[in-house]
Amino acid sequence: MRRLIFFSLILFSNFIYSQNLLFAEPRNPIRAKNGMVVSANELASKVGIQILKRGGNAIDAAVAVGFALAVTYPVAGNIGGGGFMIIHTKDGKSIAIDFREVAPAAATRNMFLDSDGNFLPDLSQVGIKSAGVPGSVSGLLYALKKYGTMKIEDVIQPAINMAEIGFPLPYSTANSIKYTLDDFSQFPSSMKIFSKNGEAYQEGEIFKQPDLAFVLNEIKNFGVDGFYKGKVAELIVDQQNKMGGLITLDDLANYKTIEREVVRGSYNNFEIISMPPSSSGGVALIQLLNILENFSFKENEWGSSNYIHTLVEAMKYVYADRAVHLGDSDFYNVPIDWLTSKAYAKKIADKIKNSATPSDSIFAGSPDSFEGENTTHYSVYDKDGNAVSVTTTINSGYGSKLVVEGAGFLLNNEMDDFSSKPNTPNQFGLIGSEANSIEPGKRMLSSMTPTIVLHNEKPFLILGSPGGSTIITVVLQVILNIIEFNMDIEQAVYSPRIHHQWKPDKLYFEKFGLSKDVIENLKSMGHIIGNERVLGIVEAIMIDQKNKIIFGVTDKRGAGKVEGY
């Protein structure tokens, strides 16, 4: 009976994604009193809100959403990837959970270089060697065991049901699978899952994943060992051995989730709680806010050439520092305190003048002298005041494009997030150095920025985004839109955004993001204007603690869903 009810629910899940809605007129944020879930997929959000209604806390709901996204949002939701979780509990504790993928023990520094030292991106971005050891299952179950209240069978069963029974494919998912069929065609195991004997799935067709249901059942029955040991681990390693991969049974058995200290910052009486390395997101976000705190902007300056110029110049310096100083802090001494200090930010702010500084003349600072864009984010808040911000990824859309034979899930291609060759950009144009070089057991640097903003020590904003190297600047601009320009949460998320990442020295912007005269002013200041592009898909929650109202918004750039009660 439970499955029949669930199946009837998902029959109503057909929704349409269209970029024509990108800058639609705001409809006012969704409001709730008791709890809220915002994710990139309607079914996953419904799973999360049902957990909250049944008495689970925000961590229980976040874990349930994570497993549900692995079924319903295969472009980025996953059990074959990794990610980061920020938690702020009802009693005021802030926690960072790092379940980023790691390099296999057999990985080598130059594994993606040819005999002449040339970088081979096809090896690092597609297929068996592009995958790091997955962390998602470990991370979700770690959070559930330590901070949740429900049993694993309670939070994973909805995902199992959807994998076994299937669900109607929404337009966005059907279209993205169709678009990726040529990539999937390299691997019979992938075509088995993502095509009907080689033909594309159509919108509304029921998409069943029995192999994935088997894996989820193994996790339900055996916990972490159901993935990292036993039958599932053997399937992963059998495929690795057949295709020349590096991941071994020991790599899987030895994977560990790490609980870290959050990175903290402040901006105009708001406290920022975000992710430390192996993500660069929290450090870079706080560094940017520290720099911008030295400037004042009037409400009517939003979108002006002066405002854009100041943002871009700050971004250049921060991404230069990211390239040199950020990496896995278990392998490299990342100078977090210095990078996030107000004093260092002031020195950078003093360098920002009325003309653009060419990127080639900006170098990373020295503490001695003074990620695929198809990631996904979800935010959860419960009636007791627990807040959870989760960003998870398999890197590129559909990761390595390789499904584990017999297990039905995609492997990530996160090895591309390492700096395979110094000063050579990865697929997102990001440049790295020794701090992010390949080493066995090391976590590759990420730009994921799951963030919680506190006001008067209570959760005020919960947000994050996919978008590879653009994640940091996307999250930054939503925060600024609210704190500096008094936008409501929907206006803040819908508004056009810009991006600069030091190199290449180009200012990217969204449609309607820069007016003609602003572009001309920026050019006259020395800025190089890049292409129009969509920047991020923010899933955000804002809490009015005084009136006890929870506001939620899913970005019109995606096809997500807000669920509250």
- The answer to whether residues 409 and 215 touch, using CB atoms and an 8 Å cutoff, is yes
> Does a structural domain hold residue 6?
no
Q: Using DSSP, state whether 391 is helix, strand or coil.
A: strand
pLDDT along the chain (565 residues), means of 10: 34 33 59 98 98 98 98 98 98 98 96 90 93 98 98 98 98 96 97 96 98 98 98 98 98 98 97 98 98 95 97 97 94 96 98 96 64 83 98 96 98 92 61 82 97 98 96 98 97 98 96 96 98 97 97 97 98
Q: How far apart are CA 446 and CA 393, in angstroms?
A: 10
> Does a structural domain hold residue 437?
no
Q: Does one domain contain both 401 and 528?
A: no
Q: Does one domain contain both 44 and 143?
A: yes
The confidence score (pLDDT) of residue 20 equals: 39
> Does a structural domain hold residue 59?
yes
Is the alpha carbon torsion for 238, 243, 249, 253 positive or negative? negative
Q: Report, as residue numbers or ranges, the catalytic residues.
A: 375
Q: Does one domain contain both 524 and 461?
A: yes
- Which of 212-247 are b and which e, b meaning 16 or more Cβ less than 10 Å from the residue's Cβ? bbbbbbbbbebbbebbbbeebbebbbebbeeeebbb
Q: Maximum CA pair distance of the chain? A: 67
10 Å Cβ neighbour count for 486? 11
CA dihedral of 27, 33, 95, 151, whole degrees rounded to 10: -110
Question: Tokens standing for 48?
Answer: 């999360």
Question: Tokens standing for 259?
Answer: 């609980």
Q: Using DSSP, state whether 539 is helix, strand or coil.
A: strand
> Does a structural domain hold residue 202?
yes
Q: Does one domain contain both 413 and 534?
A: no
Residue 147 sits in which domain range? 35-259+374-418
Q: Does one domain contain both 459 and 396?
A: no
> Does a structural domain hold residue 317?
yes
CA dihedral of 194, 555, 279, 263, whole degrees rounded to 10: -150
As a three-state string, the secondary structure of 314-357 is: HHHHHHHHHHHHCCCCCCCCCCHHHHCCHHHHHHHHHHCCCCCC
| Residue 445 backbone class (left: φ over 0; alpha: ψ -120 to 50; beta: rest) | beta
Residue whose C-alpha is closest to residue 321's, from 298, 304, 296, 338: 338
Q: Does one domain contain both 470 and 529?
A: yes
Q: How far apart are CA 263 and CA 98, in angstroms?
A: 13
Q: Using DSSP, state whether 428 is helix, strand or coil.
A: coil
Q: Count of domains in the chain?
A: 2
Q: How far apart are CA 430 and CA 111, in angstroms?
A: 19
The confidence score (pLDDT) of residue 111 equals: 95
Q: Which residue has the tokens 């993205």?
A: 176
Question: Tokens standing for 469?
Answer: 């190297």
Q: Does one domain contain both 251 and 277?
A: no
> Does a structural domain hold residue 28?
no
> Does a structural domain hold residue 433?
no
Q: Does one domain contain both 472 and 456?
A: yes
Q: Does one domain contain both 458 and 367?
A: yes
**CATH number of the structural domain spanning residue 553:** 3.60.20.40
- Which distant-in-sequence residues (6+ apart) come within 8 Å of 522 by Cβ? 305, 308, 309, 356, 507, 514, 529
pTM of the model: 0.93
Q: How far apart are CA 392 and CA 77, in angstroms?
A: 7
The confidence score (pLDDT) of residue 424 equals: 62
Q: Does one domain contain both 113 and 227?
A: yes
Report the run of H or E that residue 97 belongs to, with start and end: strand 94-99
The confidence score (pLDDT) of residue 422 equals: 64
Q: Does one domain contain both 367 and 382?
A: no
The confidence score (pLDDT) of residue 492 equals: 98
Q: How far apart are CA 185 and CA 495, in angstroms?
A: 38
> Does a structural domain hold residue 11?
no
Q: Does one domain contain both 521 and 378?
A: no
DSSP-assigned letter for residue 244: T
- The answer to whether residues 467 and 555 touch, using CB atoms and an 8 Å cutoff, is no
Report the run of H or E that residue 548 belongs to, with start and end: none
